[in-house]
Amino acid sequence: MKTTYREAIRAAIRDALQRDDRVFLMGEDVGAYGGCFAVSLGLFEEFGPERIRDTPLSESGFVGAGIGAALGGMRPIVEIMTVNFSLLALDQIVNNAATLLHMSGGQFNVPLVIRMTTGAGRQLGAQHSHSLEGWYAHIPGLRILAAATLEDARGMLWTALQDPDPVLIFEHGTLYNMPGELDDDAGPVDITAAAIRRPGTDVSLITYGGTLPAVLDAAGQLSAEGVDAEVLDLRVLRPLDEAAVLATVARTHRAVVVDEGWRSGSLSAEISARITEASFYDLDAPVGRVCSAEIPLPYAKSQELAALPSVERIVRAAREAVGRSG
């Protein structure tokens, strides 16, 4: 069937609401408004205000309420409009959701799913464009997912709801309109492993989420130059599928990490470190990185584009890794 990333997520939410009456969706403007990015459009009419629950502007309050409801036996899906606003709920996510199980000696698990939009590319300025998922990937106790394909948009939610612990799903804002084909019987997918989106032999391009399309473009361009790139989509940012990362490097001996987050103290730094720790002697070149400029993201289109990983920068980094720079 023809669908979009947005519709695939909506289908996943609808499916979950139908399959399990403990599931409900809660967040700002998920109901009467139809969702700030129209993901939940129509669900309010279909399931009513109890299960498609509009909240006040109280990120800390309603994320905390989601944690409580999960402790109380529900299976809440909490939507935070964007990762930028999730900072107002950081205390609840980091100090409660992520810690309660361990702190309570294994007594209280938190089966909560939090979905949020991340990323730049829409000229929304510095308070609506940052990619902070790497921060969450720092936190033990959380599982962090990034959906980059229609299959994952459709399939990650249900599996996440079966997880006994808190799961955060990141949806990149530029992907919502992405069209494509999805199997009519597409359903739950694995949420533990990375996936190879394009096999190759010369260099590994390791990425996730919103930069996957650019990385695939870059791989296409490289192949025209005779460089056969393998593209690995991390899918799971925590716990990292380290085996998949090391396996692709073992095949190609060269790696470039592409991450829309900032380079300093980032997920890309973590991946690079793991490769050098475990596969140093497999490498034929230093690990390359393509990240966002270390600035609060600007509004102006030209400057925003200049700040973000581009196909051109990815191609250049890959060429450097295979020794064809210049």
Partner 1 sequence: MTGKPAHPDEAQAGLARHLLHQMLRVRRLEEKCVELYSEAKIRGFLHVYIGEEAVAAGVLETLEAEDAVVATYREHGHALLRGVPAGAILAEMYGYVQGCCRGRGGSMHLFDAGTRFFGGNAIVAGGLPLAVGLALADKMAGRARVTVCFFGEGAVAEGEFHESLNLAALWQLPVLFCCENNLYAMGTALGRSESQTDIALKAAGYEVAAWAVDGMDALAVHEAARRAVDAVRSGGGPHFLELRTYRFRAHSMFDPERYREKTEVAHWQERDPINLLRQALETAGHLTEAQWAGLQSDADTEVAEAVAFAEAGTPEPPEDLARFVYSEVHSEAHSERGPE
What amino acid is encoded at 261 in this protein?
G
Q: State which residue, 126 or 243, has the beta carbon closest to partner 1.
A: 126
- Report the nearest approach of ligand TPP to the CB of residue 283 (Å): 43
Could you list the beta-strand ranges (E) of the chain.
2-4, 23-27, 52-54, 75-82, 113-118, 143-147, 167-172, 179-181, 195-198, 203-207, 229-233, 236-238, 255-262, 288-292
Other C-beta atoms closer than 10 Å to the C-beta of 319 total 18
| CA–CA dist 45, 67 (Å, integer) | 26
Other C-beta atoms closer than 10 Å to the C-beta of 174 total 18
Q: Is residue 79 a contact residue for ligand TPP (CB under 6 A)?
A: no
* DSSP helix/strand/coil, 39: coil
Q: Is residue 230 a contact residue for ligand TPP (CB under 6 A)?
A: no
| CA–CA dist 238, 251 (Å, integer) | 23
Which one of the spans 41-49, 80-88, 185-193, 294-302 is the region binding ligand TPP (CB under 6 A)? 80-88
Q: Is residue 28 a contact residue for ligand TPP (CB under 6 A)?
A: yes
Interface of this chain with ligand TPP, residues 33 to 72, rule: CB under 6 A: 57, 59
Catalytic residue annotation: 59, 128
Cis peptide upstream of residue 309 (ω within 30 degrees of 0) = no
Select from partner 1, ligand TPP, none the partner in contact with residue 243, using the beta carbon and a kind-dependent cut-off of 5 to 8 Å.
none
x/- site string to partner 1, residues 265 to 304, per CB under 8 A?
----------------------------xxxx-xxxxxx-
Select from partner 1, ligand TPP, none the partner in contact with residue 92, using the beta carbon and a kind-dependent cut-off of 5 to 8 Å.
none
User: What backbone phi and psi angles, to 5 degrees, belong to 168?
Assistant: -105, 130
Select from ligand TPP, partner 1, none the partner in contact with residue 172, using the beta carbon and a kind-dependent cut-off of 5 to 8 Å.
none
Q: Is residue 152 a contact residue for ligand TPP (CB under 6 A)?
A: no
Closest CA to 9 of 41, 55, 47: 41
- Report the nearest approach of ligand TPP to the CB of residue 300 (Å): 20
Q: Is residue 58 a contact residue for partner 1 (CB under 8 A)?
A: yes
- Report the nearest approach of partner 1 to the CB of residue 125 (Å): 5
Q: Is residue 221 a contact residue for partner 1 (CB under 8 A)?
A: no
* Burial of 104 from C-beta contacts in 10 A (0-12 / 13-18 / 19+): exposed
Let me know how many helices (H) and strands (E) the chain has, helices first.
Answer: 13, 14
Q: State which residue, 85 or 108, has the beta carbon closest to partner 1.
A: 85
DSSP labels, 101-128: HHHTTTS-----EEEEEE---S---TTS
Q: Is residue 148 a contact residue for ligand TPP (CB under 6 A)?
A: no
Closest CA to 323 of 253, 239, 244, 246: 253
Give the residue carrying structure tokens 């249900």: 158
Q: Is residue 107 a contact residue for partner 1 (CB under 8 A)?
A: no
- Report the nearest approach of ligand TPP to the CB of residue 187 (Å): 32
| CA–CA dist 163, 199 (Å, integer) | 30
Which one of the spans 33-41, 99-107, 136-144, 173-181 is the region binding partner 1 (CB under 8 A)? 33-41
Q: Is residue 81 a contact residue for ligand TPP (CB under 6 A)?
A: yes
Select from partner 1, ligand TPP, none the partner in contact with residue 50, using the beta carbon and a kind-dependent cut-off of 5 to 8 Å.
none
Q: State which residue, 85 or 108, has the beta carbon closest to ligand TPP.
A: 85
Q: Contact, 44 vs 34, CB < 8 A?
A: yes
Other C-beta atoms closer than 10 Å to the C-beta of 258 total 24
Interacting residue ranges for partner 1, rule: CB under 8 A = 28-29, 32-34, 36, 54-61, 84-85, 88, 122-128, 293-296, 298-303, 306-307
Contacts with ligand TPP, residue ranges (CB under 6 A): 28, 57, 59, 81, 85, 88
